[in-house]
Amino acid sequence: MHLIETRDLTYVYPGNVKGLDRVNFIAPRNARIAVIGANGAGKSTLFKHFNGIFRPTSGSVLIHGEPITRENLREVRKFVGVVFQNPDDQIISPTVEQDVAFGPTNLGLDEDIVRHRVTEALAVVGIEHLRERVPHHLSGGEKKRVAIAGVIAMEPQVLVLDEPTAGLDPQGVRDLVDFINSLSRTYGMTVIFSTHDVSLVPEVADYIYVMHKGQIAAQGTTEEIFLRDDLLSSVRLDVPVLPKLIRSLREKGVEVSMAYTYAEAERALLSAYKRGA
């Protein structure tokens, strides 16, 4: 059974603006899924269906095989944690600690368990030192981590991050990449994230959905998506720089294997160099 599945999910905003148009999306267990698309493609609208903030205009959303109802909404939100793009929308308490504790406290967990979860969640995102601070006085990147910690503390099976790198500095982006990968590796958590910055996608995703004008324009593995320049430019996205570079070297006669991540590119270029290619 899939953790999340949408079937012909369609959502129409007031004023007859189509947000989503017959979207079929699947999140299997322990996957790292990127949803890429230009601004206005429908990424946020899709994510707002994953924990019942929006209800489909038509089609359906199944969480662990069940449609979302008023009765199971709490369970669904325990199961699927969504971090929105703007952390200010999600931060509500006077201290970081209280903010991260808010969700687990609302689940009715014992105080000791809540404290333990808060400590763990702050450690996972690397902000133990901000425990006593006032969230609204933190930097954008720090606030984002507070929002992520708040969701992690709920121990969801699926973590959904809407544009998690927006507003982060380069080190913040690298930390986030490591963090997503460790959640997936260490906790077997399924992570779904959206971005229009394609360069980091191969570092973090096993599977990619490409959205355009409310539809899924394409889906596939890194190899399947990032060799399709025509597709990416037709949906107003860049081709990631590494496969582009390797392809251009190949066109110039260098025998080098295709690479999508920094580590792959380094290996490929080193081995080509040693062979004297």
Ligand X SMILES: Nc1ncnc2c1ncn2[C@@H]1O[C@H](COP(=O)(O)OP(=O)(O)O)[C@@H](O)[C@H]1O
Please, which residues have CB within 8 angstroms of residue 198's CB and are 6 or more apart in sequence?
36, 226, 232, 237, 238, 239, 240
Residue whose C-beta lies closest to Mg ion: 44
Minimum separation from the CB atom of position 85 to Mg ion (A): 6
Nearer to ligand X, 78 or 196 (CB): 196
Least distance in angstroms from the C-beta of 41 to ligand X: 4
Position of tokens 């809407």?
Answer: 162
Q: Map tokens 């930097």 to a residue.
A: 139
Output 153 or 192, the one with its CB closest to ligand X.
192
Sign of CA pseudo-dihedral 69, 72, 73, 76: negative
Chain contacts with Mg ion (rule: CB under 5 A):
43-44
Q: How far is the CB of 42 from ligand X (least distance, A)?
A: 4
What is 58-97 written as a DSSP string?
Answer: EEEEEETTEE--TTTHHHHHHHEEEE-S-GGGT--SSSHH
Nearest-approach distance from CB 40 to ligand X, in angstroms? 4
| Residue 184 site contact among ligand X, Mg ion, none (CB < 5 to 8 Å, cut-off depends on kind) | none
Least distance in angstroms from the C-beta of 189 to Mg ion:
22
Of the pair 39, 186, the CB lying nearest ligand X is at: 39
Question: Which CB sits closer to Mg ion, 6 or 44?
Answer: 44
Count how many Cα atoms sit within 13 Å of the Cα of residue 186 in the half-sphere of its side chain: 8
DSSP codes of every residue in 186-218: HH--EEEEEES-GGGHHHH-SEEEEEETTEEEE
Q: Rounded distance, CA 59 to CA 180, Å?
A: 30
Least distance from ligand X to the Cβ atom of residue 12, Å: 9
| Alpha carbon 45 to its chain's center | 14
Q: 102 or 193, CB closer to Mg ion?
A: 193
What residues line the site for ligand X (CB under 6 A)?
Answer: 13, 17, 19, 37, 39-45
| DSSP type of residue 219 | E
Name which of 40 and 167 has its Cβ closer to ligand X: 40
- Contact residues for 20 (Cβ-Cβ < 8 A; gap 6+): 9, 10, 11, 42, 45, 46, 49, 214, 215
CB of 100 to ligand X, least distance (A): 26
73 binds, among Mg ion, ligand X, none (CB under 5 to 8 A by kind): none
* The entry of ligand X, Mg ion, none that residue 37 binds, CB within 5 to 8 Å by partner kind: ligand X
Q: Which does 141 bind (CB under 5 to 8 A by kind): Mg ion, ligand X, none?
A: none
Q: Which is nearer to ligand X, 16 or 186 (CB)?
A: 16
DSSP state at residue 136: G
Of these partners, Mg ion, ligand X, none, which one is at the site of residue 215 (CB under 5 to 8 Å by kind)? none
CA distance 115 to 270: 48
The option from ligand X, Mg ion, none interacting with 41 (CB < 5 to 8 A, set by class) reads ligand X
